[in-house]
Structure 1
Amino acid sequence: MNFDLTQYPPIVQQIAGYGLQGYDLAMGWLLSPAAWSQFAILVGAYVLAVLISRKLRPMLARLIDPREKQNLFTAPRLFVLQFLPLILPLLAYALTGIGEQIVRSIFDSGAVIAFGKRLFMFLAVRTFVRDILKDPFLKVLGKFILIPIAALYAFGLLDLVSATLTDTVVGVGNIKFSLMAIVRGVIAGSILFWLGQWSNGQTSALIEKQEMRPSLRQLLMKLVEFMIFGAAFLILMNVMGINLGALAVLGGAIGVGLGFGLQKIASNFISGVILLVEGQATVGDYVELDGGEAGTIVKMTARAAILETYDGRWIVVPNEDFITTRVVNYSDSGSANRYEAEFSVSYDTDINLVPDIIEAAVSKHAEVLAAPYPPDCELRGFGDSGINFAVEFWVNGIDDGPNKYTSDVLFLIWNALRDNNITIPYPQRVVEIKGGFPTATPASE
């Protein structure tokens, strides 16, 4: 094919020259026995892979599927079962590789069949991302990173792009990175921290099943999380080629700064570790601090504990306050607490009968405990208007929020006294006028 392009700009002539070279090369391939044999092997390998996979995939599915009997190997078998869609492209890749060896031994050429083999690998990667990956994060990672890399590999551009990224250096000040190091860091960082999150979740679930104090359980979970992500960070630094010795110097400088400028944060962090180790206060406990803060611990962080009051407010209390001040824990060593309800009876009552009546009535409450002590009615004193009593009782929980134990007990006392015709007095005053009432003197006329 000859065209007169002398009247066109040089760049057009150069592009046309490349196009003619590509055309001649394509025609040479299409008309050569080596090209036709490679196309034929590609088609044959794919057809053979389809036929084998149609027979092999159902057979493997029946063999691996654990639905009939559940045992120790159920989970691994289910894991393997999800990879069955890869049989077709991987079989085509393997058969094409065998055909490539044959073609190269006969014609000393195999560019076409090599491209077909890489194309089958691209199809395998695409199937893996589309049908096998279920985690949303991994699916996004596969769609925007793994598939483009497989596409570059299929067209034979992966080495060229990799070399270009390696030679391109960017930096800020004295810190310089190649684009390849940045890309490698993004990919490795995404995978490492996903693995860290997944392994941390698995470890936390395993620790949750163990019989131990809640505070110790939380400490172990935090320790494992710190170790996992710390290891992931160090591996990432090695992958990106960052000198860890420089980080050690930087870490020492940061440590000095933390020691002087962040003493309170460090103190609260250490106090939090002490709380978790000793278990004196943990999530779910109802506590009251010396400063008047009171509530149920709903969350413990590295810096502070969060208390939720019964009126719905959250109070953030630094961990240091739990160590340096007096703390009343109403839920520690069991959640049984003692309360009392006061009442009075009139002076004309046989007070010897009152304790048995009240104790029997209070014992009927479903939440009142018989241990460590049953209800106990005590005589407290003789008041101005009546005889004062109080009944002590034990319950599990706090007499506030959803629980109104004292109110319920007072209702029981009222009903018991009424049923036994015992009067609850009200304030009375007797006024005595000595000498009688003065008589009125008639006014003189």
Structure 2
Amino acid sequence: MEFDLESQPEIVQTIAGYAIQGYELALTWLLSPAAWSQFGLLIVAYLAAVLVTRRLRPTLANLLDPGESDSIIAQARRFVAQFLPLLLPLLAYAFTGIGESVVRSIFDSGAVIAFGKRVFLFLAARALVRDIIHDPFLKLLGRFVLVPIAAIYALGLLDTLSATLTETVVGVGNIRFSLMTIVRGVIAGSLLFWLGQWSNKQTATIIAQQKEMRPSIRQLLIKTIEFTIFAVAFLLLMNIMGINLSALAVIGGAIGVGLGFGLQKIASNFISGVILLVEGQATVGDYVELDGGEAGIIVKMTARAAILETYDGRWIVVPNEDFITTRVVNYSDSGSANRYEAPFSVSYDTDINTVPAIIEAAVATHPDVLDEPYPPDCELRGFGDSGIDFAVEFWVNGVDDGPNKYTSDVLFLIWNALKDNDITIPYPHRTIEVSGELRTRPE
């Protein structure tokens, strides 16, 4: 078959060349007894795989079904069971391999059956992406990377494409890459950093379950392991791409200069975050109040800042440096309690000597009021315009805000205790004195 393609673009000539090669190969297979025998073996291998799969798959599914158990062995059985959709293409590949050895011994040729084996591998890759992988990122990577590579391999063009990508070189400054290096780096980098994220999540879950450790130590371990995992992933990626790390010395020097000038605040906040985690003065779950007026529960600590959540649902991003350079009040430090007071007044007709015992006994009935470091203490504060002023001091573990309304609860207890003992709570009275003779207006 001859075509005059000299006037056509190079890409058209290349595609036409592959098309002609494919046509000639197909024609050769159609006219070859060896090719027909290999086609027959492929069909036999596939039908045998279908029959074996129909009998074997239900048995394996019952064998691997762990029921409702959640043990390590049960989880391993569930993991293996999800690969059952690969049984058919892999059995077809195995049976085809057996047939290939027979065909090569008879005809000294196995091109058709080798093509069939590659097709079965493509079907296995497609089943893996379609039926087994559920993670969105891995499914996307499989759909647009694994399946196309398997298809190119099935057509026998993978080596040609690989050689072309290897010969095509691009450069950035003094650093030069082949397109194959970039493709390999993108694929390996995606897998490595996904694996790093997954392993970091699993490790963080395990560390978070260690309740005997201080929260600050848990956070420090999580951040250290996260940094280590991604540092190792980066070094592995550089090794896979074949990049000499000494070539990055200039870039590293530029980054160092940037940290020294433009990024000094980021570096300061990062170091402050490490100090916070090591010292444990403030950690996730603590209620803190800063000198600048920011107050809330620390819900997250990042490399740059801490996230405070106020009781009205707002999030405040506070740089880590502020925890080091300013005064911080921590209401939730481990092992500490907080003291509050509830003021009230009684009328001047009251026997004030009985008030402290009544109020202290009433407040002590609250389930969250502590006896240590001090029990409730009712004190006389002064003599007001309308009544005698008292206040009761009490200690609790927690902050008097959000879900905890300690002062409100204590005031209810005081009100009920005073009512039960017939003690009057005063309200303002005003006495008006009129001097001189009152004059009435004539009618």
Structure-1-length-normalised TM-score: 0.86
The worse-fitting range, judged by mean Cα deviation, of 401-410 and 121-130 is 401-410
SS in 2 for 1:352: helix
Residue in structure 2 matched with residue 443 of structure 1 by the alignment: none
Q: What is the aligned partner in structure 2 of residue 109 from structure 1? A: 109
Partner of 2:353: 352
Structure 1 residues 131, 17: closer, same or farther in 2, change over 3 A? Answer: closer
Q: Compute the displacement of 1:200 (Å).
A: 0.8
Give the match for residue 390 of structure 1.
Answer: 391
Match of 2:400, SS?
Answer: coil
Please list, as runs of the form range in 1=range in 2, the aligned pairs for 1:274-423 lying within 5 A after superposition: 274-334=275-335, 336-383=337-384, 385-423=386-424
Unaligned 5+ residue runs, structure 1?
Answer: 441-445
Query: What amino acid is the match of 2:142?
Result: G
Q: Which residue of 1 aligns with 2:63?
A: 63
Higher mean C-alpha displacement, 111-120 vs 248-257: 248-257
**Pairwise mapping of residues 175-324 of structure 1 onto structure 2 (< 5 A)?**
175-210=175-210, 211-324=212-325
Q: After the TM superposition, which of the residue ranges 234-243 and 49-58 deviates more from structure 2?
A: 49-58
Distance 1:20 1:412, change over 3 A: closer
Distance change (3 Å), C-alpha of 1:256 and 1:379: same
Which whole-Å CA distance do the structure 1 matches of 2:320 and 2:111 have between them?
Answer: 68
User: What is the CA-CA distance between 1:358 and the residue it aligns to?
Assistant: 1.6
SS in 2 for 1:156: coil
Q: 1:261 deviation in Å? A: 3.4
- How many pairs does the alignment contain? 432
Instruction: Supply the distance in 2 between the matched residues of 1:21 and 1:246 (Cα, whole angstroms).
Output: 43
Describe the superposition over 1:335-368 as per-residue Cα deviations: whole angstroms up to 9, x where unpaired.
Answer: 6321112233333322221112222332344443
Offset, 1:309? 3.1
Alpha carbons of 1:311 and 1:10: their partners in 2 closer, same or farther (altered >3 Å)? closer
Alignment of 1:86-101 (within 5 A): 86-101=86-101
C-alpha separation between the residues in 2 aligned to 1:16 and 1:69? Answer: 59
The whole-number CA distance in structure 2 between the counterparts of 1:315 and 1:206 is 28
Alignment match, 1:41: 41
1:36-86 CA-to-partner distances (Å, cap 9, x unmatched) read 221222222222222222233233333333338765422222211222222
Q: Is the 8 A contact 2:362 2:417 kept in 1?
A: yes
- Structure 1 residues 174 and 363 mapped into 2: Cα distance closer, same or farther (>3 Å)? same
Unaligned 5+ runs, structure 2: 439-443
Q: RMSD in angstroms over aligned alpha carbons?
A: 3.2
Q: TM-score, normalised by structure 2?
A: 0.86
User: Could you say if the C-alpha distance between residues 20 and 240 of structure 1 is closer, same or farther in structure 2, counting changes exceeding 3 Å?
Assistant: closer
Q: How far does residue 278 in structure 1 lie from its aligned partner after superposition?
A: 1.6
The alpha-carbon deviation at position 379 of structure 1 amounts to: 2.3
Deviation at 1:279, TM superposition (A): 1.3
**Greater mean deviation of Cα atoms: 248-257 or 71-80:** 248-257
Contact 2:345–2:426 (CA under 8 A) maintained in structure 1: yes
* Matched residue type, 2:193: F
Deviations 1:101-124 (A, max 9, x none): 222222222221221121111112
Larger radius of gyration: 1
Tell me which amino acid in the other structure corresponds to 1:176.
Answer: R
2: CA distance, partners of 1:115 / 1:158: 13
Q: 1:403 is paired with a residue of what secondary structure?
A: coil
State how far apart, in whole Å, the 1-side matches of 2:324 and 2:161 are.
59
Q: Secondary structure at the match of 2:395?
A: strand
Deviation at 1:129, TM superposition (A): 1.6
CA distance in 2, matches of 1:250, 1:16: 45
The residue identity in structure 2 corresponding to 1:318 is: P
In terms of mean alpha carbon deviation, does 378-387 or 177-186 score higher? 378-387
Cα drift, residue 255 of structure 1: 1.9
Please say if residues 83 and 132 of structure 1, whose CA atoms lie closer than 8 Å, have aligned partners that are also in contact. Answer: yes
Aligned to 1:78: 78
Deviations 1:187-207 (A, max 9, x none): 111111111111111111111
Cα offsets for 1:102-155 (capped at 9, x unmatched): 222222222212211211111121122212212121111111111111111111
Distance 1:414 1:37, change over 3 A: closer
Superposition deviation, residue 432 in structure 1: 9.9
Distance 2:20 2:222 in 1: 67
Query: What secondary structure sits across from 1:171 in the alignment?
Result: strand
Q: Which deviates the most, 61-70 or 340-349? A: 61-70
**Larger deviation: 421-430 or 141-150?**
421-430
User: Which deviates more from structure 2 when the two are superposed, residues 260-269 or residues 121-130?
Assistant: 260-269
SS, match of residue 353 in structure 2? coil
Looking at structure 2, the residues matched to 72 and 402 of structure 1 have their Cα atoms a distance apart, in angstroms, of 39
Corresponding residue for 2:441?
none
**How far 1:232 moved relative to its partner?**
0.9
Shift of the 306–139 alpha-carbon distance from structure 1 to 2, 3 Å rule, reads closer
CA contact (8 A) 1:335 1:397 kept: no
Output one character per residue of 1:297-347: Cα deviation in whole Å (capped at 9) or x when no partner: 232222222333334444333222222332221111346321112233333
Q: Secondary structure at the match of 1:206?
A: helix
Between 1:223-232 and 1:414-423, the stretch displaced more is 414-423
145-154 or 173-182, which moves further after superposition?
A: 173-182
CA distance in 2, matches of 1:41, 1:228: 48
State the Cα distance separating 1:25 from its structure 2 match. 6.0
Q: 8 Å contact 2:304–2:319 — kept in the other structure?
A: yes
Q: Quick check: 113-122 or 148-157, which moved more?
A: 113-122
